[in-house]
Chain A
Amino acid sequence: MATETGTLLKIDHLNSHYGPIQALYDISLEVKHGELVALVGANGAGKTTLLHAISNLHRASAGKISLGDKEITKWLPHRIVRAGICHVPEGRQVFAPLSVEDNLLLGGYVRRKDKGWMKTELERVYTLFPILRERCKSAAGNLSGGQQQMLVIGRALLGKPELLLLDEPSMGLAPLLVEEIFDIIRELNRQGVTVMLVEQNARAALNIADRGYVLETGHLVLEDCSENLLANKAVQRAYLGYS
């Protein structure tokens, strides 16, 4: 079924629980090849939980997740990465004591048979983020927050993602840096990477996204193209700071 213009990721009636507490209610959404989709919502709405369900870091209690024509709901996390979903976690989890280059090489852990590709991709990441080349031998934990965010995005790129899941890339960054990171995300998307972007910074996310979903206390309440969402009165009031 999956073609270049067809659906890449499809989620059907997904539910997720933490113990007795339900975090996601009957979520259904899809991401098409080449799209940049934003998932916005307040703190605790379930955005991160949804990404964790896709990567199966937290098993969904009901529902179905498919990538292309394969159902991946119960696959182990490392197999999902191999299938082409790279997850950039919230809070920039770099491997602090390891060097920047080791961190990047770890991103390509599942692509070892592709030695030539690894080399060119590492070069591409260094071109995209020159500061990483400059500091390639220092411990990742010594980088600034923005540099660490660049590192985790670069690391995910080395995994040759078909679908890149980004969890709050703007968290804790200065406004100028946020802009830079979002420019890079848009650029990556133009180069053909499908992106699902989770953000609290709804305006920045919707500005670069094709489409957006709004998540509220575990329910998907809205789905539309970005322009419509940005113009939507309810969204403006709740997430864009208009009164």
Chain B
Amino acid sequence: MKRLKPFFLLAVVLLVLPLVFPDNYYVTVIGVTAGLNAILAISLNLLMGYAGQISLGHAAFFGIGAYVSAILTTRYGWNPWPAMLVGMTMTSAIAFAIARPILRLKGHYLAMATLGLGIIVHIFLVQEDDFTGGPDGMGDIPVLSVFGWQVDTDLRWYFVIVIILLLVLWLALNIISSRSGRALRALHGSEVAAEMMGIDTTATKSGVFVLAALIAALAGSLFAHQQSFISPDSFGFFFSLQLVTMVVLGSMGSNYGAILGAIILTYLPAMLVVFEDYEVMLFGAILMLVMIFLPQGLLFGIQNLLQRLRHRKQQQKLPGQGLEGRG
């Protein structure tokens, strides 16, 4: 249970926060976006941070999940829940089909291939306007309801997203400390050494790729219902890149780091709005400074700093005691 202490702490903070600030724009409105981004960052981190497979096209799976939900509920009048399941199943099937060929590639080549995937899906969403509404997007996506409880206010959405975020985090934490999680971390270090352990690296890599896509599709579907309007702009290359930045900024290979990265990358632009024209410049500068001074990302970087400070304090104490002894 000690392992899960930060999890429960985070759960309490996230669930109590809106009770203290029920109508705060930064909690219930941006909080929902941050929560969705955190779900996506956790899924991408499983693939990138733990298994070491970069993806520059993660927004594609997010988009497929969103559009399947939007199309089935608005054009065919489906209930949102089965539509969500179909979206997740379809996304997983697509991910499964492309996983093996794409994950044979490594490093820059894998980056190129996933980049291509993201662009193909984006073009598809723009071009197939009979289905997707093209560049104008799709509106009137119905709200979710849980046993008649309509999720139609910001506060209600906040709770839905936070609960799903906590479930996804719980899942990710358990996977990482399981046998499959060890296999993932092993093949990150060296695929050859992992194979020597008897790990089927191809199956393990495609497994985590499908899982990451599945979680992204879930986030996409939630996003569609929460926004009630979606357009291809939300699922382009730029968003894929933002997700990668969240994972790297937060600290690759840490689920909590992914959440931290998502929170910062969601709130920072909102906070910097006061600087008007200089907003983007400041944003870039902050990212650069963090990566220069904390190259392992924020979470591990801060952990290291704290450790060093504690160490220094202990060392300052030690010679002091020596002097007393001499006196």
Which of A62-70, A88-96, A177-185, A227-235 lies at the interface with chain B? A88-96
Q: Which of these binds chain B: A25-33, A106-114, A190-198, A204-212?
A: A106-114
Q: Is the interface of B mostly helix, strand, loop or mixed?
A: helix
CB-nearest residue of chain A to B189: A95
Question: Which of A78, A98, A107, A159 gathers the greatest number of chain B CB atoms within 10 Å?
Answer: A78
Task: Tell which of B180-188, B208-216, B258-266, B270-278 binds the partner.
Answer: B180-188
Q: Using Cβ atoms and an 8 Å threshold, which residues of chain A touch B193?
A: 89, 93, 95
Flag the segment in B196-204, B224-232, B314-322 that touches A.
B196-204
Whether A77 contacts B195 in the complex (CB less than 8 A), given A93-B190, A96-B189, comes out as yes
Encode contact with B along A147-166: 1 for CB under 8 Å, 0 otherwise. 00000000100010000000
Which of A102, A106, A107, A110 counts the most B-chain CB atoms under 10 A from its CB?
A: A106
Q: Is B5 an interface residue (CB 8 A)?
A: no
**Neighbouring B residues of A82 by C-beta, 8 Å:** 198
Other-chain contact of B189, A77, A78, A97, A109 (Cβ < 8 Å): A97
| B312 interfacial by beta-carbon distance below 8 Å | no
CB distance from B94 to the nearest CB of A (A): 26
Indicate if the CB atoms of A105 and B182 lie closer than 8 Å: yes
A98 and B182 contacting across the interface, CB-CB below 8 Å:
yes
Contact yes or no, B179 A89, CB < 8 A: no
- Determine which residue in A57, A95, A105 has the highest number of CB atoms from chain B within 10 A of its CB, and name it: A95
- Set B179, B182, B190, B200: member contacting A78, Cβ < 8 A: B200
From known contacts A57-B192, A93-B190, A112-B179, infer whether A107 and B197 are also in contact, taking CB-CB under 8 Å.
Answer: yes
Does residue A76 face the partner (Cβ distance < 8 Å to B)?
yes
Tell me the count of chain B residues lying within 8 A, CB to CB, of chain A: 18
Cβ 8 A contact of B197, one of A57, A81, A97: A81
Least Cβ distance of A84 to chain B in Å?
10
A16 within 8 A of B: no
- Report B107-139 residues with CB < 8 Å from chain A CB: none
Contacts of B182 in A (CB 8 A): 98, 102, 105-106, 109
**Are B195 and A57 touching (Cβ within 8 A)?**
yes
- Counting CB contacts under 8 A, is A49 at the interface? no
Selected A-B contacts with CB under 8 Å, 17 pairs: A55-B196, A57-B192, A57-B195, A76-B200, A77-B198, A81-B196, A89-B192, A89-B196, A93-B192, A93-B193, A98-B185, A98-B186, A106-B183, A106-B197, A109-B198, A110-B198, A159-B197
B residues at A contact (CB < 8 Å): 179, 182-183, 185-186, 189-190, 192-201, 253
A residues contacting B by CB (< 8 A) are 55, 57, 76-78, 81-82, 86-87, 89, 93, 95-98, 102, 105-107, 109-110, 112, 155, 159
The 10 closest A-B pairs by CB, nearest first: A81-B198, A110-B198, A77-B195, A93-B193, A78-B200, A95-B189, A87-B196, A78-B198, A109-B197, A106-B197
